[in-house]
Amino acid sequence: MVEVSDGTKVPAVTDTKPSRTGGARTRQLEAAPMSTFTIDTSTSRATPSPVPGKRTTAPSIRARKLREGNDFRTEQPIVMLTAYTMRMAQLLDPHCDMLLVGDSLGQVIYGLPSTIPVTIEMMCAHGAAVVRGSWHALVGVDMPFGSYEASPAQGFESAARIMKETGCAAVKLEGGEAMAPTIDLLTNRGIPVIGHVGLTPQAVNVLGGYGARGREEREAEKIIADAKAVADAGAFCIVVEGVMEGLACDIAAQVAPPVIGIGASAACDGQVLVTDDMLGMFERTPRFVKRYDDLAARISEAARAYADEVRSRSFPTGDQTYRPK
Ligand code: KIV
């Protein structure tokens, strides 16, 4: 065992590359204390952050929202983005408190028409990749449609499988009052839960589309009741998606766990976006997305330049070919 920067003891990892003098060089490396998986940097492009730190935990996210009398206050908003791959996780990790392996990967990665066909196998494969690519952020993985709604017991089985196979620290599930017993069971059996209310894309066939929710008084009241039920059941934070701004403010003011908004309000305790939307990978995005880049155009331009050079035989040049010295 070796002691790492925060004082925790972790298993020693031995690097046995041959030394210049011939014998095996034995060096003790610090293993990541909170990661189920480590990255073999000698065989992959992966480059872990130089000082593996302790991951952000569910209780530390929950504690970011403080009660002051009858009010709540979150000093520094919580930053969350989606990630589905190891490399994207590496790039986002230093900037985010939480990385969400969202079931939006169904549309973004697999070209599916909705999140409904997403499987637990897809979530586990991408969840494990994101855990491998991150050191600091809490990684939460979405429970896909059909993996938890039948009963709390089904929810526990699926969530436990996701946690074992990915090494993630939390799961997210959609739904309000109806899901409270499941959230209660999971949180009392060692599984931190991120709630998700308002526009819940897995329920698109019941909702009739992806339009903003809570325009009508009755629906707004139901969404507030959902958020309160999810909070009371033990969710450590709650995603509120696609609701009227005033409703998002009311929810953030009334529930104790941090509210992470998407298409909600700047008054929420944090924000999340689908990274590919935010990077400008798609021409069409929901109204609530702000594009911080135009990667689709930049990728097309790079591919066009490559294609031109291949066709004109100007790639590869001497710099990219092996020649006798
Ligand atoms: O699946 C997803 O990416 C999500 C976020 C949009 C919150 O649930």
| Nearest CA, atom 4, ligand 1 | 102
Residue 274 CB–ligand 1 contact under 6 Å: yes
Q: How far, in Å, from the CA of 41 to the mean position of ligand 1?
A: 30
104 lines ligand 1 (CB under 6 A): yes
pLDDT of residue 45: 57
- pLDDT tens digits for 231-269? 999 999 999 999 999 999 999 999 999 999 999 999 999
Give how far Cα 258 sits from Cα of 59, 68, 123, 199, 248, Å: 11, 14, 24, 18, 12
Q: Tokens standing for 65?
A: 């929202």
pLDDT digit string, tens, across residues 264-306: 999 999 999 999 999 999 999 999 999 999 999 999 999 999 9
In tens digits, the chain (325 residues) has pLDDT values of 334 333 444 344 333 333 333 333 333 334 444 444 555 555 555 555 444 557 899 999 999 999 999 999 999 999 999 999 999 999 999 999 999 999 999 999 999 999 999 999 999 999 999 999 999 999 999 999 999 999 999 999 999 999 999 999 999 999 999 999 999 999 999 999 999 999 999 999 999 999 999 999 999 999 999 999 999 999 999 999 999 999 999 999 999 999 999 999 999 999 999 999 999 999 999 999 999 999 999 999 999 999 999 999 999 999 999 999 8
What span, in angstroms and rounded, lies between the C-alpha atoms of 112 and 59? 34
Atom in ligand 1 nearest the alpha carbon of residue 260: 7
Confidence (pTM): 0.86
Atom of ligand 1 nearest to the CA of 241: 7
Q: Are 130 and 83 in contact (CB under 8 A)?
A: yes
Q: Determine phi and psi for 259, rounding to 5 degrees.
A: -105, 120
- Give the chain's domains with CATH numbers: 58-278 (3.20.20.60)
